[in-house]
Chain A
Amino acid sequence: MRALKDEGVKFIFGYPGGAALHIYDAIFKQKAFEHILVRHEQGATHAADGYSRATGKPGVALVTSGPGATNAITGLATAYMDSIPLIVISGQVQSHLIGTDSFQETDMIGISRPIVKHSFVVHDTKDIPRIVQEAFYIATSGRPGPVVIDIPKDKTDPNHLYDYKREKKVSIRSYQPKALPHPGQIKKASKNILSAERPVIYAGGGVILGNAHKELMALNKILKVPVTNTLMGLGSYPANNKYFMGMLGMHGTYQANMAMHNADLIIAIGARFDDRITNTPALFAPKARIIHIDVDPASISKIINADIPIVGQVKESLTALIKEIKRSKLKMDSDALDLWNSQIATWRAKHGLDHELYLKKTKSKMILPQVVVQELYQATNGNAWVTSDVGQHQMFVAQYYHFNKPRRWINSGGLGTMGFGLPAAMGAKLAYPKDEVVCVTGEGSIQMCIQELSTCLQYNLPIKIININNEALGMVKQWQDMNYGGRHSESTYQDSLPDFVKLAESYGHVGIKVEKNSDLKNALEKAFSMKDRLVFVDVYVDPAEHVYPMLVANNSLEDMWLSKDKKT
């Protein structure tokens, strides 16, 4: 407990059980932090993860051995894929029982090994302070990630007292996460940038994790070049800035994908050229030289070869780059850059997203999911912390909710974990109780962690849930429409959905059902007027709607579906 307190922990999300009972007894006797009792261990890990994404501080989850530990696995994998600092403490059976198939025994270290940055087993009680300190250090430094601490029950026996000792500074000789950018590489990068004619900044989640959004803005105040964000990078550059092109990739905007494909220089910052970004790597950005800034050397030239690799923390690297560009005698060709920026404006005008769908009169009573997101943006003035689950609704938020600040967009990008949204919103709400926290979800995803509605009641977490209900697994259905002749294999369940209004009410919350366009705005206003209540807004939308643009598989970034029957 004291080790956790010394790390500045405010909340622990957990679920008790036999092997963790000594720890839980100690929690009962302390006041340094609050324990949040979730209803499923997956919820604990996602809530801790959401807290971490919202605050930048490591989230902490506590689970028992066996099923408690295995239920935490999805949350660990989610955090691992998005490089989120998360500490999962798992109880373990007593040391002398390990390996005997005893009750609730699972090899947690073995199961979690491929999805953690590192893991520790407590072999000796007096190692606990050192291990906790090292775990937090590893989780938060370099490229962040989840760390597991597995503690056999006998190692938390309150009768085993020891002298608590905390080191002033953690140092692990086989772990040196501080990476400063190589000055030669910075010079080379600056030279390439200043002689480029069609440059693009491609910024990812690393900018947010590395708290470098200010440096990114400062860089582009000088350069004035088009910027695109990955799904994880949204908010690292203000969406309302005129150089912002929107998200790129699978469901990226037309102008962002076209700009990447036609660029002569790509400045990749804290992004990892994921397959949802590149489409076919061999056909990716054929005319571009690549500058790649990343704290993790293994991310550089993993998928797309970098012409100028820069290994370093994003903040330090951008600061050095800005300094070098200011010092340089070279000047960008402003005519070429104007031409490039106007080319992007042309692309935007031709096939860009329509951000004013909500203002248009429509004869259809059916609500468009895009309009729900646009109305949500209006209702929250763009200031909400928005979590999402996974599927069409997630893409609609990424496309239509303009994130102007970092960390406000909280979603499972890498792993694509359905069920993430609600518990993540709990973490964000605990971190920022006065702010509006919204979970945009679908009727499929929400049912994967719906039990956490009970946790929200217990701790009075007035989150707003916007359920974009198309009565189907929308993204699966879209793929089936496009690639499987419209055969909706196991992706629909219209006749067996719960009444979400009654469901919310049974958990002590407020439920609102919306079926008509004309009711949407009022329903959202009503929901946000109830400051102290969790409101579940169940919005029935047009089930036939697809997410566009969508990259055409096995092609390049300029090959997109723009609608059901139109391709670039």
Chain B
Amino acid sequence: MIKRKLILIMENKPGALVRVVGLFHQRGYNIESLHVDPVDDFSSYKFIEEKLETKFKENEISRLTIQTLVSDSLMRQILRQLNKLIDVIAVSNEETTYLKGVLLDENLL
């Protein structure tokens, strides 16, 4: 078990954060730390905008940073489960980025 960092980009909608936190609890994963920011500067997320053919507007999306203690195989499962949440747009750890089912080369970290 190693402490690992995850970054999520998600819709800034009521109830979105609790779905992420709830999923950790529901599936027995542990959160070591959690940090949420609204995103106003989209310059580092151009690749998401291009892939989804969308334009982010002010206050529309949030960035979550989560640290968690897990094994490698569980990490993959967490990424996939988070990626399934309807309000989650993209999720990355050190190695992998999921953008709604698609694996990306770009990384949010």
A interface residues, Cβ below 8 angstroms from B: 109-110, 113-114, 117-119, 121, 138, 172-177, 179, 296-298, 301-302, 311
Residues from chain A with a CB closer than 8 A to the CB of B59 are none
Residues of A contacting B7 with CB < 8 Å? none
Contact B81 A298 (CB under 8 A): yes
Q: Evaluate contact between A174 and B87: CB separation under 8 angstroms.
A: yes
Which residues of chain B are near A176, meaning CB under 8 Å?
A: 52, 100-102
With contacts A173-B52, A179-B101 known, is A298 near B80, CB below 8 A? yes
Inter-subunit contact A175/B100 (CB<8 Å)? yes
Across the two chains, which residue of chain B brings its CB closest to A143?
A: B84
User: A110, A121, A172, A176 — which one has the most chain B CB atoms within 10 A of its CB?
Assistant: A176
> Which residue from B77, B81, B86, B102 sits with its C-beta under 8 Å from A175?
B86
Pick the most buried of A119, A174, A301, A302: most chain B CB atoms within 10 A of its CB: A174
Q: Which of B12-20, B29-37, B38-46, B63-71 lies on the face that meets chain A?
A: B12-20
Question: Judging by beta carbons under 8 Å apart, are A297 and B14 in contact?
Answer: no
Q: Can you sample 18 A-B contacts with CB below 8 Å?
A: A109-B15, A110-B18, A113-B19, A113-B22, A114-B22, A173-B54, A173-B89, A174-B10, A174-B87, A174-B89, A176-B52, A176-B102, A179-B101, A298-B80, A298-B81, A301-B73, A301-B76, A302-B77
CA distance A173 to B100 in the complex (A): 9
Residues of B within 8 A of A296 (CB): 84
- A-B residue pairs, 8 tightest by C-beta: A298-B80, A176-B100, A118-B86, A174-B89, A114-B26, A173-B54, A173-B52, A175-B86
Q: A179-B101, A298-B84 are in contact. Are A113 and B89 (CB under 8 A)?
A: no
Q: A114-B26, A173-B52 are in contact. List 15 more A-B contacts (CB 8 A).
A: A110-B18, A113-B22, A117-B86, A119-B15, A121-B14, A121-B15, A138-B86, A174-B10, A174-B11, A174-B89, A175-B100, A297-B83, A298-B81, A298-B84, A302-B77
The digit string for B71-109, where 1 denotes a CB below 8 A from any CB of A, is 001001100110110111100000000001110000000
| Contact residues in B for A297 (Cβ distance below 8 Å) | 80, 83, 101
Closest chain B residue, CB of each to CB of A114: B26
How many Å lie between the Cα of A204 and that of B10 in the bound state? 32
Complex interface: chain A residues within 8 A of B100 (CB): 174-176
In the complex, A311→B81 CA distance in Å? Answer: 14
In the complex the two chains form, what is the Cα distance from A118 to B23 in whole Å? Answer: 12
CA distance A121 to B102 in the complex (A): 29
**A residues less than 8 Å from B14 (CB atoms):** 121
**Bound form: Cα–Cα A179–B10 in Å:** 21
Q: Nearest A residue to B10 by beta-carbon distance?
A: A174
Distance from B75 Cβ to chain A, minimum over Cβ atoms (Å):
12
When C-beta atoms are compared, the residue in chain A nearest to B100 turns out to be A176
Nearest CB of chain B from residue A81's CB, rounded to whole Å: 13
In the complex with contacts A121-B14, A297-B101, A174-B80 CB distance below 8 A: no
- Give the residues in chain A near B81, CB-CB below 8 Å: 298
Contact of B88 with A174 in the complex, beta carbons under 8 Å:
yes
B6 to chain A, nearest CB (A): 15
Q: How far is the CA of A109 from the CA of B87 in the complex (A)?
A: 15
On whether the beta carbons of A311 and B101 are closer than 8 Å, the reply is yes
* Smallest CB separation, B87 vs chain A (Å): 6
Contacts of A114 in B (CB 8 A): 22, 26
- Nearest-neighbour CB distance to chain A for B66, whole angstroms, equals 17
Shortest beta-carbon distance, A121 to chain B, in Å? 7
The residues in B between 49 and 64 inclusive whose CB is less than 8 angstroms from any CB of A are: 52, 54
Does A172 lie within 8 Å of B86, measured CB to CB? yes
Closest Cβ–Cβ distance, residue A19 to chain B (whole Å): 19
Which residue from chain A places its CB closest to the CB of B27 in the assembled complex?
A: A114
Nearest A residue to B9 by beta-carbon distance? A174
Among A118, A119, A298, A311, the residue within 8 A (CB) of B77 is A298
Contact A113 B101 (CB under 8 A): no
Tell me which of B77, B83, B101, B102 has the highest count of chain A C-beta atoms within 10 A of its own C-beta: B101
Q: How far is the CA of A179 from the CA of B102 in the complex (A)?
A: 9
Bound together, the chains give a CA A77 to CA B87 distance in angstroms of 21
Among B22, B73, B86, B89, the one with the most A-chain Cβ atoms within 10 Å of its Cβ is B86
Q: Tell me the nearest residue of chain A to B53, going by C-beta.
A: A173
Nearest residue, chain A, Cβ from B14: A121
- Please give the distance in Å from A538's CB to the nearest CB on chain B: 41
Q: Which residues of B contact A113 (CB under 8 A)?
A: 18-19, 22
Task: Give chain B residues whose Cβ lies under 8 Å from the Cβ of A177.
Answer: 101
| A113, B26: Cα distance in complex, Å | 10
A311–B26 Cα distance when bound, in Å, is: 24
What are the residues of chain B within 8 A of A110 when measuring CB–CB? 18
Interface pair B84/A174, CB less than 8 Å apart: no
Bound-complex Cα distance A121 to B14 (A): 9
On chain A, the residues within 8 Å of B52 by CB distance are: 173, 176
